[in-house]
Amino acid sequence: MTPAKKPPAKGGGSRNGQFKFILFVAGREPNSVLARQNLQRLCQERLPGRHTIEIIDVFQDLDAALKHNILITPTLIKVAPEPLVTIFGNLSDSSKLMASLQLTE
């Protein structure tokens, strides 16, 4: 007999409540700077103490970008909790971003 899965907690989350993001940016380009700011604000407001953000500058680490098949920046990958989600752009539309990350208002 397989135990029933618990529904996700309000606001999304994994078993340990941790979110892991990888944000691919292109140096200090305006959209990359904006994406960093928008992701950090979202995490501070909605996921305080429950997130990690890895920022990869494709100008500094092209191999990492190629490994993840990143062709445009900025690109955000939500690694955890599952499912994996990839979002392109500067992350400025907070309602679409929250919906894509399965975070409820």
* Domain regions of the chain by residue span: 19-100
Contacts of 9 (CB under 8 A, 6+ apart): 17
Q: What is the pLDDT of residue 17?
A: 79
pTM exceeds 0.95, yes or no:
no
| CATH architecture of the domain formed by 19-100 | 3-Layer(aba) Sandwich (3.40)
Which secondary structure element, helix H or strand E, spans residue 51, and what is its range?
strand 51-57
Per-residue pLDDT tens for 19-77?
A: 999 999 999 999 999 999 999 999 999 999 999 999 999 999 999 999 999 999 999 99
Phi, psi of 84 (to 5 degrees): -60, 135
How many Cβ atoms sit within 10 Å of the Cβ of residue 75? 23
Q: Is the pLDDT of residue 13 over 50?
A: no
Q: How far apart are CA 84 and CA 94, in angstroms?
A: 19
